[in-house]
Amino acid sequence: MNKVLSIYFLLTIIIFNVNAQNPVFLGTENLDRSVILNGDTLDLPFAMSREKRLLPEDILNKREGWYATGLPELTVDPIRGLTVGANAFLFNNMDRTDPFYYFTPYRIRYAVGLRVAQNGRVDAELNVDVPFIFNSKWRLRGDFIYANDPNWQYFGIGSQTLNNLRYQDKRTGNIVENARFPGYYDNLALTRSGRGAEFNEDPTEIYTDVHFNEVDYSQFLVGLALERTFFEGRMRLMLGAEILVVGIDQYDNKTTVEALDINTGEETGAVQGQTRLTQDFLAGQQGDSNSSWGRYNIGGYEGGRIGLLQTGLMWDTRDLEPDPSRGMFIEYAQEISAPWTGSEFTFTKHLIQGMFYQRVLPATLGRTVFASRFALGYIRGSNIPFTEVLDLWGASEGGGIPVLGGARALRGYREGRFAGMVTALANVELRSRFYQATVLNQHMAFSAVPFLDAGRVYDSFSDMSLDNIKVNPGIGLRLAWNQATILRMDYARSAEDAQFFFVFGHTF
């Protein structure tokens, strides 16, 4: 793995870069005051708050004109393993005669990505983002995404998902309480005899539960959003529409080669037993009073078409969206799905989220930023796809948050580990830049990031309490490449798991 990472960083440094003009990269010790102050002499088409202005070092390290960056993508996570791919970005920053040069990380960004994971996941995307389009108060964002993940995680819905992992050891018959995830998963993979008609299993066949918490998930998404700024750029009103076609393929009764022979521990073929998704679906169909699917109108067992009307109101005083050092971002976001939006489902989703960034002792610690996020999500409806319960949608450029676990939420727990009708999430990070340099015309800045994540799900607002909150600490490393591209390495440890991620973009 170390050798692979070394090759990756070498490729990243020598990657193709195009720029119409030769950039000038300077550190804070060599500030060109005339370059910075020139921005104050330019007339904006409308007033912008000084809070939104980039820091002097960010202005000086910013490239002018059109430039392209392309890089191989090498990411790692516990579910999909090693992912390789490629990304290409085309930016236009205009030049220092453009007044918005001093207020936005770019004027136009096109992005194309393609990735293939070790577990078979494939995803491709095309994005466009144009702040202040035609020098107006409007911003245009568009997304075109395809993804297929054969190991999409599902641990159930409702507050019962907060229960500690437990399982019956297939070899000894003993109950293992407060289990850690590697032992839990290994036990699922062991082979066993069929359990009979109650579980739709043949007692003469050999079964496994290796995919008990997994489904084969695919999605095709097209989205378009418009934003308008108010109050000197601090407030943004967003209106968007999205069509999402979801495909769900269950593993029940399919032959898999990922089972472990209960006697030898070697990989072998076996039939997959009834999955957690199927158990929950059948309980809802049969009117089980304990079924969260029945109580909360959960559906989407076989996927379907989801049409969404999206609205968001944001208060944004961050200085640099991809890598803020000061300011705040507060939003209320809502999604509506109904037959009149082109959807097969009927539900609404709500999210209140706040992100806060504050430099800590800048004269002593340089660029050290205390960053925090607090989010509260809620979903309700008469026909709710289960996949939407596991996603907190936000109106910002960062989009939704897969919950509750994984690289963007509780980093010490499996993605999708906790899901409920009400979701609370908090993250705090200390982003301390310790080194920056210009290498082959590329500005590179490195930061160490200790962090703490906390979260909980609830069945309703009346159930909310501080009991049984899930917490994990962690440590990370960030590389900011030409300001607009962030590479992130995180290691987190919780009561039931330890996970390492090497991915793109800040957590928030």
User: Model confidence at 454, in pLDDT bands (50, 70, 90)?
Assistant: very high
Cross-strand partners of 41: none
Cross-strand partners of 502: 76, 489
Q: Is the pLDDT of residue 471 over 80?
A: yes
d(CA 356, CA 28): 24
Among residues 218, 205, 212, 302, the alpha carbon closest in space to that of 258 is found at 212
Q: How large is the C-alpha radius of gyration of the chain?
A: 24
**Mean pLDDT value of segment 72-89:** 81
What is the per-residue pLDDT for 40? Answer: 63
What is the per-residue pLDDT for 490? Answer: 94
Among residues 367, 414, 393, the alpha carbon closest in space to that of 306 is found at 393
Q: Is the pLDDT of residue 436 over 70?
A: yes
Among residues 428, 432, 337, the alpha carbon closest in space to that of 375 is found at 428
What is the per-residue pLDDT for 397? Answer: 64
What is the per-residue pLDDT for 33? Answer: 58
In order, the DSSP letters of 51-107 are GGSPPHHHHHTPPPSEEEEEEEEEEEETTTEEEEEEEEEEEE---TTSGGGGT-S-S
Q: Is the pLDDT of residue 484 over 80?
A: no
- For the stretch 263-307, pLDDT in tens is 999 999 999 999 999 999 999 998 888 899 999 999 999 999 999
- For the stretch 296-330, pLDDT in tens is 999 999 999 999 999 999 999 998 888 898 999 99
Q: Is the pLDDT of residue 1 over 90?
A: no
Q: Is the pLDDT of residue 6 over 90?
A: no
CA distances from residue 413 to 164, 189, 205, 401, 474 in whole angstroms, order as listed:
12, 19, 34, 14, 12
**Mean pLDDT value of segment 63-81:** 78
d(CA 408, CA 47): 34
| Residue 178 CB-density burial (10 A; 0-12 exposed, 13-18 middle, 19+ buried) | exposed
The CATH class given to the 2-162+211-504 domain equals mainly beta
What is the per-residue pLDDT for 51? Answer: 76
CB atoms within 10 A of CB 163: 10
**Mean pLDDT value of segment 226-233:** 91
What is the per-residue pLDDT for 186? Answer: 93
What is the per-residue pLDDT for 22? Answer: 38
Q: Is the pLDDT of residue 400 over 80?
A: no
What is the per-residue pLDDT for 438? Answer: 79
Q: Is the pLDDT of residue 20 over 50?
A: no
Query: Percent of the chain, pLDDT > 70?
Result: 90
Q: Kindly give, in sequence order, each residue whose CB lies less than 8 Å from that of residue 16, ignoring residues fewer than 6 positions away.
A: 68, 69, 70
Contact 163, 173 (CB under 8 A): no
Maximum distance among all alpha carbons in the chain? 82
Where would I find the H helices in 313-391? 362-365, 386-389
Q: Is the pLDDT of residue 23 over 70?
A: no
**Mean pLDDT value of segment 242-251:** 96
User: Model confidence at 431, in pLDDT bands (50, 70, 90)?
Assistant: very high
- For the stretch 325-370, pLDDT in tens is 899 999 999 999 999 999 999 999 999 999 999 999 888 888 899 9
d(CA 2, CA 7): 9
Among residues 224, 257, 229, 259, the alpha carbon closest in space to that of 243 is found at 224
What is the per-residue pLDDT for 35? Answer: 55
- For the stretch 174-226, pLDDT in tens is 999 999 999 999 999 999 999 988 888 999 999 999 999 999 999 999 999 99
What is the per-residue pLDDT for 481? Answer: 77
- For the stretch 139-179, pLDDT in tens is 999 999 999 999 999 999 999 999 999 999 999 999 999 99
Q: In which element (H, E) is residue 240 found? A: strand 235-249
Domain ranges of the chain: 2-162+211-504
What is the per-residue pLDDT for 54? Answer: 79
What is the per-residue pLDDT for 11? Answer: 43
What is the per-residue pLDDT for 395? Answer: 82
